[in-house]
Amino acid sequence: MNDRLSSLPLVKANRRTFLSHSLALGASLAGIGTLLQSCGGGNANSNGAIKWSTWAGAKTSKRLQEFTDRYNRDHNANVKFAPIPSYDDYLPKILTQLNGGIAPDVFYAADEHIIKLIQNKTIEELTPLLAKSDSVVKESDYFPGMWGAARTRSGKIYGIPVDCNPIVLWYNKKVLQEAGITEMPAELYKQGKWTRDVFQQMIDKITANKKRGYILASDSMLYHYSWAINNGGRIYDKDGYGDFIADQDPKTVEAFEWLAENVRAKKFAYASSLPSNQSEDLMFTANQVGFLSAGRYYLSTFKGARAKGLDYDIVPMPGTDGKSRPTGIFLAYIVLNKKTKNPAEAYKFLSNYVSKDGETLRLKDAGDAVPSVKGADQVVLDGNDPVHAQHLLDARNTGFATFASEMGTPGLSLDIVSAFDPVFLKGADVKTTLGKVAAMVNPRIKQAQSLLQ
């Protein structure tokens, strides 16, 4: 995990928690040789030196260096790893290096980075490379909702998802049982009875028992959007490439009002309003909250708390009719420098990194992310932890990256989060706020549309 990011309060760092965990290399290095040899052959030209980079603290950098060294041995390659310690410094440094002609051949791009790199024409379009017969990965190896702003509206792909974290509901069994809840959410889901009304009933019982029902994360709108879509609402038109229409959609407005009402009634906690010693993961492991929305990135934390009595499982977010609908997916991408002097070797490393075997290697035993590539699901299912781990895979299969219109407009996603804070922190009117957001968002989207074509 990125050392600096791990020191940030997780109440404000869920998305960053994912971004740092997307670097996970949990497999023992004894098994790396076999896996890498199966990732596309081992006859690289040793003269074709390439460099790759991502944000990584000391601990993660050590693992990634070991991975790179083993890749070099098994592929007769000459790949050098050049980590950048701080996530906050990462994009500025990469842009400076690109401008100076010394950037890595292959590097990570967060979802908030990629549109800038497409805009300044510094990364290579990967669509033709993915289509080549000798590529170890194809576009069809990844789930369609993952591309976000990494794929333009015309279908051009500029980044491949390295892995992912789809949003599901984690629930604390002890908190639910102490509130008198006898049927657990996963069982109700199997029966087709897992609805938002049932969820609300559970929240009411939990808060009546002097615990917090649910924590609404505050660092990304993906959580809010997921509730709206599971209420039958819409956020953007034109398959996510068009205007912000949430203010015009009655079901979306109602979902936001429902969230706000529960926050005001203190049945939900808004994460950014929590004291620093009451972050969402700490409250969950201390048996003080019933539900969280999160990806797989908390699994290692929750495993560690099991000895202290934590009992947990997951369930899809509830729809209004007992059917699960798409939820958001947190993503980062790996990209190819347009000016690499060794494009074949650079793409070979990039594609191996996100291949079935590459992702299996990186995610095995780590427990921090879900494969983005098809065929590596066993790393999530092994160990049966959580019991209904399949729901993470199902949420990935149907889920969505932050909408291309939003992530494809520089700075917009964070501005929307800030615009909604007054609803949950100060009691601002939901409908009025949605209208203000639309007025702020849509002109900026129109201005940025050329970047998404």
Q: pLDDT digit string (tens) for 194-212?
A: 999 999 999 999 999 999 9
In order, the DSSP letters of 296-316 are GGGHHHHHHTGGGT--EEEEP
What letter does residue 56 receive in the DSSP assignment?
-
- Report pTM: 0.89
Q: In this structure, are strands 289-294 and 168-172 parallel, antiparallel, or unpaired? A: antiparallel
Question: CA–CA separation, 268 vs 229, rounded Å?
Answer: 19
Question: Do the domains 166-328+404-452 and 3-164+330-398 match in fold?
Answer: yes
Q: Where are the domains of the chain?
A: 3-164+330-398, 166-328+404-452
In order, the DSSP letters of 12-40 are G-HHHHHHHHTT---S-GGGHHHHHHTTT
What φ, ψ does residue 161 adopt, rounded to 5°?
-65, 130
Alpha helices in 239-363 (DSSP H): 250-264, 280-285, 299-304, 343-353, 356-363
Closest CA to 115 of 83, 159, 154, 52: 159
User: Residues 347, 137: contact at Cβ < 8 Å?
Assistant: no
The predicted pLDDT at position 39 comes to 40
Question: CA–CA separation, 301 vs 283, rounded Å?
Answer: 12
- Given a cut of 90, is residue 31 above it in pLDDT? no
- CATH code at 3-164+330-398: 3.40.190.10
Question: CA–CA separation, 201 vs 150, rounded Å?
Answer: 40
The predicted pLDDT at position 389 comes to 97
Q: Sheet containing 160-166: which strands, arranged edge to edge? A: 79-81, 50-53, 106-110, 329-336, 160-166
Task: Find how far residue 78's CA is from the centre of its chain.
Answer: 31
The H or E element that residue 373 is part of is: none
Q: pLDDT digit string (tens) for 374-396?
A: 999 999 999 899 999 999 999 99
Q: Tokens 């953007």 — which residue?
A: 236
Question: CA–CA separation, 330 vs 16, rounded Å?
Answer: 10
- Given a cut of 50, is residue 423 above it in pLDDT? yes
Where does the pLDDT of residue 7 fall: very low under 50, low under 70, confident under 90, or very high at 90 and above? Answer: very low
Question: CA–CA separation, 256 vs 430, rounded Å?
Answer: 7
Q: pLDDT digit string (tens) for 286-323?
A: 999 999 999 999 999 999 999 889 999 999 999 988 88
Where does the pLDDT of residue 451 fall: very low under 50, low under 70, confident under 90, or very high at 90 and above? Answer: low
Where does the pLDDT of residue 8 fall: very low under 50, low under 70, confident under 90, or very high at 90 and above? Answer: very low
Q: How many residues does the chain have?
A: 453
Buried/exposed code over 21-56 (b: 16+ C-beta within 10 A; e: otherwise): bbbbbbbeeeebeebbebbbeeebeeebebbbbbbb
Q: What's the CATH class of domain 166-328+404-452?
A: alpha beta
